[in-house]
Structure 1
């Protein structure tokens, strides 16, 4: 099962970044690969969100359970339905001098064992690139507000 972890320092307080991460419906406004994110259900510290992504012309859809830890400014997400066999991870915000390190982890499984050996390295690179694009978009939004 491929696992991807990307980090990026941002010149912003983690308390300023967390609301941006939590407002997932707005991700498509500044993340090019996302077609849409729709909140289907909102409870105390969780949401169920429906995602549509366009990765190199291939539409990938999933529904995830997002769990928000306000005290630690941490988000855990886990696919509950969708195109991949497994898709889950975390947004972790760690204080740094002069800002915050944003870490995004993605643990996924394509779900077709016979071609996993061939596709996993390609998918892992694609997931890493997309994850870094997400962090870069957040960094840009925080450091250069419109």
Structure 2
């Protein structure tokens, strides 16, 4: 199963970074590839969210189960239904100082076409890696500059 692990140091207080990561419904405002997000059930430690993202011109949809550890500033997710055969990972905020964090995003996935996995996995891994970097850079822009993106063409 391909795994993507990407980290970015951001000049923001840990609590601000954590709060922004938890606010998944605002992602389409500052993450170019995220078309829609909807937060369903949320009891503080366990949530369910639905996603639509643009990945290399294709729209991917899924629903994920999220485990939230506020003390560790870690959000773990697992796809419960959607376009991938398997999708899981986490967001983690690592405080560096009172005004700086290292945000880590790890994603493991399986596209679900075994006969073509050797050919498609490297292509999909590159697309997921590019998308992960884009999401973290959007988070950085939001936290450091308050950036808001114009609506994405084709978003619902």
CA contact (8 A) 2:94 2:102 kept: yes
SS of the equivalent of 2:32 reads coil
State the distance in 2 between where 1:11 and 1:35 align.
26
Shift of 1:57: 2.2
Matches for 1:55-134 after TM superposition, within 5 Å: 55-97=55-97, 98-134=99-135
Kept after mapping to 1: 8 A contact 2:9/2:101? yes
Q: Hey, what's the Cα distance between the residues in 2 that align with 1:119 and 1:14?
A: 37
1:63 shift after superposition: 0.3
Cα shift at 1:73? 0.8
Q: Aligned with 1:120: secondary structure?
A: helix
Q: What is the match of residue 53 of structure 2?
A: 53
Give the CA deviation at 1:106: 0.2
- 1:39 to partner: Cα distance: 1.4
Give CA-to-partner distance per residue, 1:86-120, whole Å, 9 cap, x none.
Answer: 10101111122451100000010001101111110
The two structures have a TM-score, normalised by structure 1, of 0.95
More displaced 10-residue stretch of structure 1: 78-87 or 96-105: 96-105
Structure 2, unpaired ranges of 5+: 148-156
Give the alignment's Cα RMSD to 1 decimal.
1.1
Q: Which runs of 4+ in 1 moved over 2 A?
A: none
Structure 1 spans left out of the alignment, 5+ residues: none
**Secondary structure in structure 2 of the residue aligned to 1:44:** coil
How far has the Cα of 1:54 moved from its partner?
1.6
1:26 aligns with 2:30: no
Paired residue for 2:150? none
Query: Does the residue aligned with 1:107 lie in a helix, a strand or coil?
Result: strand
Residue 7 of structure 1 aligns with which residue?
Answer: 7
